[in-house]
C-alpha cells in the first residue's frame, strides 16, 4: 500500500499543479520510457527527474494548450510495481485537435521513490493530433 500511496501522491501533485512535488517523487536515477512511437520517445530512456522534466514535460507544455489526466485507476501489483490506467485529455496548440487517449503507466517504486516508468498509450491518436 505504501508504493501505491507514493504514486497517488505524485498524480495528485500534477493535478494540483505542483510539478516540483511530482519530480520529488522520483528517484534521482529514475529510468523513464515513453511508449514506442510516441512523439517524445526519441529520448528514451530519460534518466533522472531533470531529463524527464525537459525531455517530456517541457515538450508537452510547448506543444499542447492543455494536457490533463482523467479516469484514473490505481492498481498495486506484485512487489514494487504500481499500474495506473486512465486517459490523456489534450488540445494541440498548432492543429487545435483534441485527444482523449487511453493510457497505462507501469511504475516501479523503491524506498518511497519512483525508480522506473513505462508508458503505454494510443500513440497514433497523439501523432495524428500533432499533424
> Each residue of 24-69: pLDDT tens digit?
999 999 999 999 999 999 999 999 999 999 999 999 999 999 999 9
Give the bridge partners for 101, in sequence order. 88
Which CATH number is associated with domain 2-129? 3.10.450.50
The answer to whether 71 and 55 are in contact (CB under 8 A) is no
Give me 5's grid cell. 500511496
| Predicted TM-score of the model (pTM) | 0.95
The neighbour count for residue 86, using CB atoms within 10 Å, is 19
Is pLDDT at 103 greater than 90 in this prediction? Answer: yes
Distance (Å, rounded) from C-alpha 45 to C-alpha 68? 23
Give me 44's grid cell. 528514451
In terms of DSSP bridges, do strands 26-33 and 113-121 run parallel, antiparallel, or are they unpaired? parallel
Distance (Å, rounded) from C-alpha 81 to C-alpha 74? 11
Say which residue the cell 512487489 belongs to. 79
What pLDDT is attached to residue 14? 94
Distance (Å, rounded) from C-alpha 8 to C-alpha 121? 19
Is pLDDT at 78 greater than 90 in this prediction? Answer: no
Amino acid at each position: 500500500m505504501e508504493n501505491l500511496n507514493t504514486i497517488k501522491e505524485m498524480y495528485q501533485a500534477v493535478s494540483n499543479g505542483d510539478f516540483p512535488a511530482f519530480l520529488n517523487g522520483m528517484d534521482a536515477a529514475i529510468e523513464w520510457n515513453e511508449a514506442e512511437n510516441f512523439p517524445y520517445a526519441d529520448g528514451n530512456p530519460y534518466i533522472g527527474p531533470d531529463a524527464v522534466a525537459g525531455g517530456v514535460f517541457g515538450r508537452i507544455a510547448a506543444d499542447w494548450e492543455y494536457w490533463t489526466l482523467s479516469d484514473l485507476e490505481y492498481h498495486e501489483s506484485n512487489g514494487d510495481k504500481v499500474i495506473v490506467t486512465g486517459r490523456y485529455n489534450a488540445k494541440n496548440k498548432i492543429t487545435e485537435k483534441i485527444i482523449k487517449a487511453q493510457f497505462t503507466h507501469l511504475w516501479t517504486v523503491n524506498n518511497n521513490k519512483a525508480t522506473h516508468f513505462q508508458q503505454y498509450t494510443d500513440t497514433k491518436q497523439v501523432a495524428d493530433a500533432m499533424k
